[in-house]
Chains A and B, each alone.
Chain A
Amino acid sequence: MAVITPVTTDTVASTAPFWRLKGFPVIPVSILLLIAFVAVFADVLAPHDPQIGSLARRFKPPFWLEGGSLVYPLGTDHVGRDVLSRLIFGARVSMVVGITAVLVAGSIGTLLGIMSGYLGGWADQVVMRITDTWLALPALTFAIFLAAIVGPSELNIILILGLVYWTRYARVIRGEVLSLKQREFVRLAVVAGCSSRLIMWRHILPNVINSAIVLATLMLGVVIVTEASLSFLGVGVPPPKPAWGLMMADGKKGLMVGYWWLTVFPGICIMLMVLSANLLGDWLRVKLDPQLRQL
């Protein structure tokens, strides 16, 4: 039978589509929960200190290969650190970096997006000019400069990623606000004499929060992969912190030499996390978009 799919409108325009999954995305959410679990209990789960190694036992392969042992189940890296322990602690670093960076970007972007969209005029001009400038500056360039200014540390990487990516939020949220402004309840609130601040806080924010959440899940992936690229360019999370992106950048040389476990394991972790976040985001799009709740 031919299919006519109901007309749907995207809340988040153009950057990503609305997605339909059969029910709850069980696998992606389980993966994310697992990563979160590992991140929280890293201290208990990790068999070794992730930051300490010894050159005497560098490049040990995973246990099932010749020369590997169960002491270091997934092998050791170029400084002789346990790859499994680094992956486990890496979950924490990547989760913290990813989520906080998205929060930073999301808060700045949502706030400015709302102000820009609702207040219009002068405020709008300032915010939009800044976003234009930001967008014209390649993200990595910007990140390298910021890294040079503030120096590398986990916290600074979070700030950098947040500062690089807030504009994406600002643009989307502003667009949403512009259409919300035309809606009855906002007009009613204006007529009822609510202050602009109250309207933005009480009426606009709750209505854009869904889009912000959806965008956040999609941005999580972007942020984590960017973090890896920054490490590749030498301005990411500083070693010996076990971040997945850093592990990949550090281990990339090993790839050519047959030490595949150095990059493949963190690669799988990043891939699973990013894929899951994206699939969850796409599902949330459908769930959180009121226009799609009818069926």
Chain B
Amino acid sequence: MVSLSTTRRGVLGLSTAAMIGATLRATDAAPEGELRVGVHVSLAPTWFDPAETPGIITPFMLLYAMHDAVIKAMPGDPMAPCLAESCTMSPEGLSYALSLRKGVKFHNGEELTAEDVKFSLERYRGAASKSLRDRVANVDIHDPHRLTIRLKEPWPDFLTFYAGASGAGWIVPKKYVEQVGDEGFKKAPIGAGPYRFVSFTPGVELVCEAFDGYWRKKPAIKRLVFKVIPDESTRLAALQRNEIDIAYSIRGELADELLRTPGLAIKPALGSAPYWLYFPEQWDPQSPWHDRRVRQAASFALDRKTMNEALTLGHSRLTGSIFPENFEFYWALPPPAYDPARARKLLAEAGHARGFDAGDYYCDTSYANIGEVALNNLREVGIRVKLRPLERAAFFKAYSEKKLKNIVQGASGAFGNCATRAEAFVAKGGTYVYGSYPDIDELFAEQAVEMDRAKRAATLQRLQQLVHDKAIYAPIWQLAFISGVGPRVDQSGFGLIKGFVYTAPYEDLTLKGKA
């Protein structure tokens, strides 16, 4: 999960979780009706298995339906205890004691026990699995509902990874997995989530059915169908025809149509991937980008607000940082103003009174629409660039191999915190770092060994300040993910969980006329 903001240490009380459970608990009526979701990507069976969770957000779309986690983000609480009733960190930070909820059943009727939690953690091999394996010493089971996870050394970020940025805390039934094997599990997954797997047709659809025995509440909707519709215009058409009730990722002018069509509703959700312009030639004294004023001018030239209105109907979050707001150690920076006059002035001071030919502007093809607008903005102040959209795979290959020049339009939705983000994008040697500044590298090295959280935060904030002052990047926004919802849906579930762009939790979704 990308959404987690702060790491909670100490006791995660019952309070919030219990309250949510109480207030949202609907009637006990039997689930009925069918909700069809038009999905923008091809669903992969790997996503049925929490152990495979890669470092992208998409699989969580399915995990929330079929599985449940010890602790996961829920409405109002980014770290809500779910399968756990409580989680207590030992004072020295070396162990976490979990007390599991009793009577929780998997879809096959077996009870979820501490064995399954241990098994799931040890079996986990997805994103961040190495960090977990390196730091987790062992898991002690005290009784079927109590266990302790012991660390080799204090690791303040443990819960960030266990409960958020990985699938390790999502529980699969040990007995079943051992019986059917990994391949068998992907063909017929069993979890403890609100919906159980019914059928999957690759490239076509995934069908799930309400699990009456879900601990939190009985889902209101009987069937969930995820239909794969790769083209977004077609997705919109399917929504307009009520072939689907929810259409993920409806962008630009198609979103306008959602507003215009009676019965349809627009559901924006803010993702946690900031977008930015990067100037890889700023370390080359020959390049015009070497001059900080030129980079600042580029930033002032961007009319982020209008861009936001036009491309995402104003739902994206403008930002002055390349770090997402929900990251630990985030230091808020206001979005740079749109000030073309100042941009021109800066350019003139830098010796480009008549503007200059700035070369290429590289971007991922899927986001060339941002580039097209930025291109116009830059040209208005005299920075003349050529758009060079590269197909996604080729773009990231070239970006990481440091083959790009002039301007790069980048983005990242990677899990982690501000330190991990800085490692990849700012500090010397990072995957996407074309050059670095000694003072920043120093700060980065300093925070990496700092055990005191407050001091580390201060260091990282100074680092963020420097990234801003040096205008290494011209940040644009955190992109809004816009989905459409059809007339049959009452509670669509969008935006309930902060930072999560898909609909969730599924047990809370309702159709109109069916309480």
Contacts and interface: CB of A to CB of B under 8 A. Distances in A.
A–B contact (CB under 8 angstroms): yes
Contact of A257 (B256, B310, B387, B391): B256
A238 B252 contact: no
A144 B254 CA distance: 26
Contacts, number: 78
Contacts of B387: 238-240
Interface string B373-405: 101100100000011111101100000000000
Interface stretch (A2-10, A31-39, A52-60): A52-60
B306 A234 contact: no
Interface string A113-124: 000000000000
A79 to B, nearest CB: 5
B391 A252 contact: no
Contact of A78 (B252, B257, B365, B379): B252
A254 B372 contact: no
Given A238-B389, A253-B254, A148 B394 contact: yes
Interface in A57-82: 58-59, 78-79
A256 B260 CA distance: 12
A237 to B, nearest CB: 10
B394 A256 contact: no
B367 to A, nearest CB: 11
Q: Is the interface of A mostly helix, strand, loop or mixed?
A: loop
A59 B253 contact: yes
A248 interface: no
A147 interface: yes
A174 to B, nearest CB: 34
Interface residues of A, number: 30
B306 A56 contact: yes
Interface stretch (B51-59, B64-72, B232-240, B441-449): B232-240
A151 interface: yes
A151 to B, nearest CB: 6
Interface string B240-269: 000000000001111011001000000000
Given A55-B373, A253-B254, A257-B254, A147 B303 contact: no
B253 A234 contact: no
**Interface size class for chain B?**
20 to 34
B394 A151 contact: yes
B365 A253 contact: no
20 contacts: A52-B379, A54-B376, A55-B303, A55-B307, A58-B310, A148-B390, A151-B394, A152-B388, A152-B389, A234-B366, A235-B365, A238-B387, A239-B368, A239-B387, A239-B389, A253-B251, A256-B233, A256-B237, A257-B256, A257-B260
A254 B233 CA distance: 9
Most buried by A among B251, B373, B386: B373
B253 A259 contact: yes
B253 A151 contact: no
A238 B253 contact: no
B389 A234 contact: yes
A255 interface: yes
B254 A256 contact: yes
A53 B376 contact: yes
Contact of A151 (B303, B379, B388): B388
A226 interface: no
Contacts of B233: 252-253, 255-256
Contacts of B386: 238
A122 B390 CA distance: 39
B369 interface: yes
List the 3 closest pairs (A to B, CB-CB), nearest first. Answer: A234-B365, A148-B394, A257-B257
A107 interface: no
A100 interface: no
Given A52-B379, A79-B373, A147-B394, 20 more contacts: A51-B375, A52-B376, A55-B303, A55-B310, A55-B376, A78-B252, A79-B372, A148-B390, A148-B393, A149-B394, A152-B388, A152-B390, A153-B388, A238-B368, A252-B233, A253-B253, A256-B233, A256-B237, A256-B257, A257-B257
Nearest to B254: A253
Interface string A251-281: 0111111110000000000000000000000
Contacts of B236: 256
Contact of B252 (A148, A235, A253): A253
Contacts of B379: 52
Contacts of A152: 388-390
Contacts of A259: 253
A257 B372 CA distance: 20
Contacts of A238: 368, 386-389
A78 B390 contact: no
A178 B147 CA distance: 81
A209 B366 CA distance: 42
A32 to B, nearest CB: 30
A258 B240 CA distance: 14
B309 interface: yes
B413 to A, nearest CB: 20
Contacts of A235: 365, 391
A240 B372 contact: yes
Residue of B251, B252, B366, B391 ringed by the most chain A CB atoms within 10 A: B391
Contacts of A258: 257
Contacts of B375: 51, 240
Contacts of A149: 394
Given A55-B309, A55-B310, A151-B394, A253 B388 contact: no
